[in-house]
Amino acid sequence: MHSHDKNKDVDLFLREFNLTLSRGTATGVADFSDFVFPVDFFPPKEFPVRCEFESAVFLGDVSFFKAIFQQGAGFNFVHFEAHADFDRCVFNGPASFDYAGFATSMSFKSCVFRQSAHFNHAHFPAFVDFSNTQFLDAVEFRETSFAGAHKVGQYDPSLPGPVFSRASFAKPELVVFYKCYLGQALFCNCDVSRFMFSNITWRRRTSNGKKMVFEEDVSLSSATHDLPDGGICVFPLKPRSRQADERSYDLVAELYQQLKKNYDDRRDYWTAGDFHYGEMEMKRMATPQPNRLSHWFAEEIKSFLASEKQHFVARWAKKRGYSERNFHVFRREWHRHLGLAAWYKYASEYGESYGRPALWLAGFLLLFMLLYPISGLHPAIRAGGAQPAVYDSVSRDAGAPELSYHNYILYGSLQRGGEKLSFPALLGDSLMTSVAVAALQRDPAYEPSYPWGRALSWFELVLTSTLIALFLLAVRRQFRR
């Protein structure tokens, strides 16, 4: 029974296997520990007693398809040298795969675990499928080794490793993932909001290093041919018919919402912030829902291209393949790069960066410092209009020439309080005016000239107020409790 010879007598082995299984009826446990199963072994479909396969070795492909383990099973320290298939298995008792090793792909698709299931320290170097599986009790993946699928014997980081899509968990608060790599895991259509994720390594964005889920990055084209399940695990991510998006971004956004809630409830706000960033990215990438105006534009374009008059513009557009679909593509690209969500990203990385709005704020202050002397600055009159403003204890003459590039070039220099005003001093006064506008100062020393300077000040006030609000929001998110 313990020989590693792949040509061992299969009939003799099967008789010994059935004898061990029948002996277990008296003790309640059938012990197959250290058994070396031959290549052509075909296990039975029902095991009435608990089966222990500790340290057993399966030399060839093995299929427990639709097998029923009435009292559960233990596959601790088992080594599978080929593909193992547990599809539609039913474990009525506790199931344990601790320290199990799998050389190639593994499938638990549509299994039912009625009691606890343990996969602690198990090693899954290739594709493993838990899709549509029902976990009715506690589930543990402690220090479980996950990776991606193999492609022609080589590790491929673009293909998924563990797949939990559409799996159901009756007791999600008892689901534990500890010290695992989930950078190539698929959780779409699976509620993960109450799982225990501890010391997890997630996938990272190349742009800013924030954590992300693999649903956002998994290949939807090549996976159909490269995955053992024919790509079924990624079908939910494929866009619906006539949808302009590359993938179902709304489904990925839903997963990000669940992960954000999970980490928020555990007060891990840094990781929750990364998943908030991912959620907003999906909302930015998704094509916005059509409204009445966009629908009217699309219909007008469609009727114009199909008009009987065949205007030369319509003929030119049709010749180049333009249609109402191009309008939706334009609308999608506008939303991604110039929409409100896009500007939210540019300004503060969706509220996750307080440095970015601070840099934008400093940049706009310097920009308006350079713009105000174009329209001109004049000494401000205090409320009441009788007294000129006072700056550096020097009284201003309200009738003095404007501080502007034009006057500086025309007069060679400007006067301020009887002293010549240098060009750096001109920019300094302009900068202080820019700061005063942003700070809503009531009595600035200089104010922009009417009308273009005043319009610039209103524009600056809107921009800087927005950036200050984004800065405070980001500080609150980063340093709350």
Q: pLDDT by residue (tens digit) across 233-243?
A: 777 888 876 55
User: What is the pLDDT confidence band of residue 255, given thresholds at 50, 70 and 90?
Assistant: very high
Mean pLDDT of 234-261: 84
Mark whether 134 and 109 lie in a shared domain. Answer: yes
What is the model's pTM? 0.81
Mark whether 117 and 75 lie in a shared domain. Answer: yes
Q: What is the pLDDT of residue 198?
A: 94
Q: Which residue has the higher pLDDT, 403 or 129?
A: 129
Q: Which residue has the higher pLDDT, 38 or 158?
A: 38
Query: Collapsing DSSP states into helix, strand and coil, what is residue 343?
Result: helix
In contact, 426 and 420? CB cutoff 8 Å: no
Residue 243 lies in a domain: no
| Phi–psi pair at 355, nearest 5 degrees | -75, -35
Q: What is the pLDDT of residue 425?
A: 80
Residue 260 lies in a domain: no
Which of 219, 238, 257 lies at the terminal end of a domain, its last residue?
238
Mark whether 296 and 433 lie in a shared domain. Answer: no
Lowest mean pLDDT among 310-324, 368-382, 450-464: 310-324
Q: What is the pLDDT of residue 387?
A: 46
Q: pLDDT by residue (tens digit) across 212-228?
A: 999 998 888 755 556 76
Which of 345, 366, 389 lies at the terminal end of a domain, its last residue?
345
Q: pLDDT by residue (tens digit) across 193-219?
A: 999 999 999 999 998 899 999 999 888
Length of the chain, in residues = 481
Residue 350 lies in a domain: no
Query: Collapsing DSSP states into helix, strand and coil, what is residue 214?
Result: helix
Residue 224 lies in a domain: yes
What sign for the dihedral angle of Cα 151, 156, 161, 165? negative
Mark whether 335 and 377 lie in a shared domain. Answer: no
The count of other CB atoms within 10 Å of the CB of residue 420 is 11
Q: What is the pLDDT of residue 371?
A: 93
Residue 129 lies in a domain: yes
| Phi–psi pair at 177, nearest 5 degrees | -120, 115
Instruction: For residues 119 and 99, give the distance between their C-alpha atoms in angstroms, rounded to a whole number.
Output: 7
Q: Which two tokens stand for residue 309?
A: 């008059």
Mark whether 21 and 108 lie in a shared domain. Answer: yes
Mark whether 222 and 90 lie in a shared domain. Answer: yes
Mark whether 60 and 187 lie in a shared domain. Answer: yes
Q: What is the pLDDT of residue 416?
A: 60
Does residue 422 carry a pLDDT above 70? yes
Q: pLDDT by residue (tens digit) across 134-173?
A: 999 999 999 999 875 444 445 567 778 899 999 999 999 9
For residue 255, give the H/E element and its range. Answer: helix 249-265
C-alpha separations of 234 from 2, 139, 181 in Å: 40, 24, 19
User: What is the pLDDT confidence band of residue 1, given thresholds at 50, 70 and 90?
Assistant: low
Burial 56-68 (b: 16+ CB within 10 A, else e): bbbbeebebeebb
Does residue 326 carry a pLDDT above 80? no
Instruction: For residues 322 and 281, give the distance between their C-alpha atoms in angstroms, rounded to a whole number.
Output: 29
Does residue 185 carry a pLDDT above 60? yes
Which of 203, 238, 273 lies at the terminal end of a domain, its last residue?
238
Does residue 254 carry a pLDDT above 90? yes
DSSP string of 447-480, one letter each residue: EEPTTHHHHHHHHHHHHHHHHHHHHHHHHHHHH-
Q: pLDDT by residue (tens digit) across 92-120?
A: 999 999 999 998 888 999 999 999 999 99
Residue 65 lies in a domain: yes
Residue 58 lies in a domain: yes
Does residue 469 carry a pLDDT above 80? yes
Mean pLDDT of 362-380: 90
Does residue 445 carry a pLDDT above 60? yes
Rg of the Cα atoms in the chain? 34
Mark whether 159 and 44 lie in a shared domain. Answer: yes
Q: What is the pLDDT of residue 196?
A: 96
Mean pLDDT of 405-409: 77
Characterize the bridge pairing of strands 175-178 and 168-169: unpaired
In contact, 134 and 108? CB cutoff 8 Å: no
Does residue 333 carry a pLDDT above 60? yes
Residue 437: CB partners within 8 Å, gap ≥ 6?
Answer: 368, 444, 448, 457, 460, 461, 464
Residue 351: CB partners within 8 Å, gap ≥ 6?
Answer: 276, 344, 470, 473, 474, 477
Query: Collapsing DSSP states into helix, strand and coil, what is residue 156?
Result: coil
Q: What is the pLDDT of residue 114?
A: 96
Instruction: For residues 45 and 315, give the distance between their C-alpha atoms in angstroms, rounded to a whole number.
Output: 68
Instruction: For residues 256 and 5, give the distance between their C-alpha atoms in angstroms, rounded to a whole number.
Output: 50
Mean pLDDT of 341-361: 93
In contact, 130 and 97? CB cutoff 8 Å: no
Mean pLDDT of 128-133: 92
Lowest mean pLDDT among 144-153, 438-447, 471-480: 144-153
Q: pLDDT by residue (tens digit) across 66-86?
A: 999 999 999 999 999 988 899
What is the count of structural domains for the chain? Answer: 3
Mean pLDDT of 305-329: 55
Containing domain of residue 309, as a range? 288-345
DSSP string of 42-69, one letter each residue: ---SEESSEEE-TT-EE-S-EE-TT-EE
DSSP string of 344-384, one letter each residue: HHHHHTTTT-SHHHHHHHHHHHHHHHHHHHHH-EEEPBPTT
Mark whether 170 and 100 lie in a shared domain. Answer: yes
Mark whether 39 and 180 lie in a shared domain. Answer: yes
Instruction: For residues 70 and 9, give the distance between their C-alpha atoms in angstroms, rounded to a whole number.
Output: 29
The chain-wide mean pLDDT, for the chain, equals 82
Mark whether 159 and 206 lie in a shared domain. Answer: yes
Mean pLDDT of 390-401: 46
Instruction: For residues 10 and 22, give the distance between their C-alpha atoms in angstroms, rounded to a whole number.
Output: 18
Q: What is the pLDDT of residue 53?
A: 94
Mark whether 434 and 301 lie in a shared domain. Answer: no
Amino acid present at 33: S
Residue 265 lies in a domain: no
